A and B are shown apart, each in its own frame.
Chain A
Amino acid sequence: MEGVQMHLISKEMLEKMPSMEKLRMILDNVKEGKIVVLETGLTPEEEAKLIEMTMLEIDHENFIGIEVESYPVKERSVFSKLFGKPKGRLTVIGPANRLKTLEKQADVIKALVQV
């Protein structure tokens, strides 16, 4: 059966992984053409680091970058700003030549995956 492989990573597994290990795992899978779904997503700092790492690995032939689908982070209270960690929401990451955003709203994301 032909298709696109998807990796669905649980919140528990993501919480155990250090940031760099998480980002490396995402990028390695995406470069192999897989779609990665993260139950809790990435922090804003991790998202920025992922973009930075992606730029370093674009080779202009086989890998042209990533497509990331995630919702905006909800507004945080003063208490959580001081003592909490910003938490990402469900995030889908795939190779830019396979995953395309169709429509994005505050709580709904529609995307197209090319086989």
Chain B
Amino acid sequence: MAGMAATAGIASALMLTVTTASAHDYSIIPDQFVVCTTCHGVELKGNKSVDAPRLNGMEAWYVKMQLQAFKSGWRGTHPQDLTGMEMQPQAAVLSDKSIDAAAEFVSHVLPRTETLGHSIVGDSSRGERLYATCAACHGANGQGNEALKAPRLAGQNDWYLLRQLEKYRSGVRGHVPADTWGQQMRAVIKVLDSAADSTAAMADVVTYINTFSSNSS
């Protein structure tokens, strides 16, 4: 389609040209997972406008665990969990094999940290003190710990982390008894909830997490 029409010598005019893009810029998304990028964005970078967190850089084991949590109704079924409810039916239709494939797919989309902006501003030094409890499972640098089923926090969207803390606090997440790890987090959130200004405390912790290098592992 390109390069055939007369240009009449207009220097600035671009012919409509289509070329193969350099392959390493973006991941080819398999057809069955294109739907993931509708919400979670190109390269699964996350999209705050539709409340979808960043997935690139997320550990395969954690992706698998959460898809199963959504599928089994541990997440995204509480009447107040409006954003979780958007994800839940998507996971509910996946077979165990598809969940494995999805986890594999997500873990192969490389972290793209250059576009990650910070939207939460709190007291980082107070956050550091409060984070001491979190560090036991999630690691001193938020690198995560598979053995304790604690996901990496470094490099995650701060607005998403804050929302999850709020969900644990209100019982919207971690409310199903069979959800052992979710229940554990729900118990631990009391550390932050006991503060008089628990909302600010959560923002402070997230502010501190923002200081971690997202490449830590």
Q: Is B a genuine binding partner of A?
A: no
